[in-house]
């Protein structure tokens, strides 16, 4: 699969590296310093290249949107038309200093992104923390972390679930895209547990019976 990555930071780089190991082709884009994605692509090797955001979209079967919430409008403008593209958003609606949520419970980053890209199939999943993603294993004592995904198109959701399985987490279908308004604050709880409560690397595990 060709994956166009918009935002090659901790998460975009980490996910791209793992997907390249699974055999996917990547194009990294969108940086204030083009040398950064170039270095990342070089470190990954022949499966990775660099382009502009609109080149990454043209290249992509799936577009990974991995920028801070405050940069979403600018990134989507640079991306151009996303008609019929699967946009896999990992954007949480955090304030820039992570002190709270920019939006929440009556809307979500995912829903706002879908409004800005109405022709795209937006699927959201907030994967494990970058520290976990970029470590040797994504597992917690041999257990896979649960990662919820939301979206309104079944086929696109299955594609994203497959990409999540490839990074060794447990994808759980959390329903329609509007449920992101509950998933995103839940991820903020994990951030509080990890950094304020100093619990270290934490993740979700869903139990049901």
29 near ligand NAP, rule: CB under 6 A: no
Cα 191 from Cα 45, distance rounded (Å): 32
Select the residue interacting with ligand NAP from 29, 92, 144, 179 (CB under 6 A). Answer: 92
- Which residues 104-163 are close enough to bind ligand NAP by CB under 6 A? 126-127, 129-130
69 near ligand NAP, rule: CB under 6 A: yes
CB of 131 to ligand NAP, least distance (A): 7
56 near ligand NAP, rule: CB under 6 A: no
Select the residue interacting with ligand NAP from 63, 91, 114, 120 (CB under 6 A). Answer: 91
Which of these segments, 10-18, 54-62, 114-122, 175-183, binds ligand NAP (CB under 6 A)? 10-18
204 near ligand NAP, rule: CB under 6 A: no
Binding site for ligand NAP (CB under 6 A): 7-12, 30-33, 36, 66-69, 71, 74, 90-92, 94, 126-127, 129-130
């Amino acid at each position: 699969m060709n994956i166009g990555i918009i935002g090659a930071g901790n998460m975009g780089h980490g996910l791209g590296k793992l997907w390249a190991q699974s055999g996917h082709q990547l194009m990294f884009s969108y940086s204030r310093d083009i040398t950064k994605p170039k270095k990342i692509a070089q470190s990954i090797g022949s499966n990775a290249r660099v382009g502009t955001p609109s080149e990454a979209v043209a290249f992509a079967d799936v577009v990974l949107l991995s920028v801070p919430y405050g940069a979403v409008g600018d990134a989507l403008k640079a991306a151009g038309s996303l008609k019929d593209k699967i946009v896999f958003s990992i954007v949480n609606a955090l304030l820039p200093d992570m002190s709270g949520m920019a939006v929440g419970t009556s809307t979500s980053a995912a829903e706002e992104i879908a409004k800005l890209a109405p022709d795209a199939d937006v699927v959201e999943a907030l994967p494990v923390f970058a520290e976990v993603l970029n470590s040797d294993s994504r597992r917690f004592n041999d257990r896979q972390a649960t990662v919820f995904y939301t979206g309104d198109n079944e086929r696109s959701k299955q594609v994203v679930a497959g990409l999540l399985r490839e990074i060794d987490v447990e994808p759980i279908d959390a329903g329609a895209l509007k449920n992101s308004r509950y998933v995103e604050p839940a991820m903020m709880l994990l951030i509080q547990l990890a950094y304020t409560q100093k619990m270290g690397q934490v993740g979700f595990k869903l139990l049901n019976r």
